[in-house]
Copies of this chain bind each other. A is one copy, B any other.
Amino acid sequence: MQVKNIISENNFVETLCRNLKRSTLQVNKLNESDAEIISLPGTSVMMAVTTDVISEEIEKGLYTDPYQIGWMAVMVNASDISAVGAEPLGLLLNETFKENDTPEFISEIQRGINDACGATGFFVLGGDTNFSSVRQFGATAIGLINDDKVVTRKGCREGDLVYISGYAGRGSAYALTKIYETGKNIKYMPESRIQHGKIMRKYASCCMDTSDGVITTLDQLMRVNKKGFIIDAKPDEYIDTESIEMAKLVQKSPLIMLAGQHGEFELVFTVNEKDNDAFLKEAKIIGWNPIRIGKVCREIKINIAADEIIYYPDSARIRNLLSETKGNTEEYIQELFKIFSF
């Protein structure tokens, strides 16, 4: 059985990389890990490295508070390091300011960066600063893995339990408040999952963060693993209350909060049943309650339980919607609303 439909983002990345030679030291394949994992020659250590820049989120008005921009510039990268369960080493910043940015604006960006470094355990090792007519803030984050247990997006088996590290939905709900007038405010400041990731790595068979929302994550894991997912937890067990309320406000199923391309930066991962007790025991020690949402199944399909129905998302369409609507966010939301009109 083959997964149909091309994902335009994956396709674009594959085109970019078509002629690039890959390093023999690289453990993971293209699109199969949140962070690149590299065996360091002359050592028994592996390096996890990732880069992510916040660009569209600023240009489209999703992030306007400079503290939040600084926080997110670190957090989007820390999240990828969490998803492979590596120990934070440090990061390099890429900051593009506008020529006339005020000292207060700049200092708030740096305060957000500093606080996110404190929360995740990263140090700023260096960086590059530019000035342009369009702002951009990002980083490259580096972590270390000191044993040979590697977790990537690939490796789950039929019957494995599916977990999410915390409540889902806030990424979509927040984006909705910023683009579509809802009269509500949603706080958006994703927390560090570094400690959770380190425990997850010991027990998980695959993992991916929800930086692009839960449905995108499940779709990508489905493609990489050639397995499907039965998400049978009730929506209110894993979608946060405010996001469910927001769905009610726009008269849509709460599942719409899993579909937006602006995610909540939780980890979705799978654990074999035999490792489950040990996993939950260790999670409990740090006061973490990972939420079990379903199971890996053989059929390459995603199905999600809603109130009275089972929903089979057209996850390829959901992932391609942003490029389909050519980055027009209002049109994007209208199309998303149509999809969730059940």
Contact = CB atoms under 8 A, between A and B. Distances in A.
Interface of A: 12-13, 15-23, 25-26, 35-36, 38, 40-45, 47, 49-53, 55-56, 59, 89-90, 92-96, 99, 103, 106, 110-111, 113-114, 117-118, 123-134, 136, 138, 140, 142, 144, 146, 326-327
A96 B135 CA distance: 12
5 contacts: A20-B117, A35-B126, A36-B125, A49-B140, A133-B134
B138 A16 contact: no
A127 B23 CA distance: 14
Contacts of A56: 130-132
Given A21-B117, A21-B123, A92-B140, 5 more contacts: A23-B123, A36-B90, A40-B43, A43-B43, A49-B140
Given A38-B90, A110-B16, A51 B144 contact: no
A26 to B, nearest CB: 6
Given A36-B126, A43-B43, A50-B126, A55 B20 contact: no
A41 B144 contact: yes
A42 B144 contact: yes
Contacts of A136: 96, 130, 132, 136
B51 A94 contact: yes
Contacts of A19: 110-111, 114
Nearest to A124: B20
A147 to B, nearest CB: 10
A326 B99 CA distance: 8
Nearest to A23: B123
A25 B91 CA distance: 13
A73 to B, nearest CB: 12
A36 B99 CA distance: 26
Contact of A55 (B132, B138, B140): B132
Contacts of A51: 92-94, 126-128, 140
| Copies of this chain held together in the complex | 2
A44 B41 CA distance: 11
A12 B106 CA distance: 10
B16 A106 contact: yes
A128 to B, nearest CB: 5
A114 B20 CA distance: 6
A26 B94 CA distance: 19
B327 A125 contact: no
Interface centre among A40, A103, A106, A127 (most CB of B within 10 A): A127
A17 B144 contact: no
Contacts of A25: 89-90
A237 to B, nearest CB: 33
A22 to B, nearest CB: 6
Given A20-B110, A89-B25, A94-B94, A130 B327 contact: no
Contact of A132 (B18, B59, B138): B59
Contact of A40 (B17, B40, B92): B40
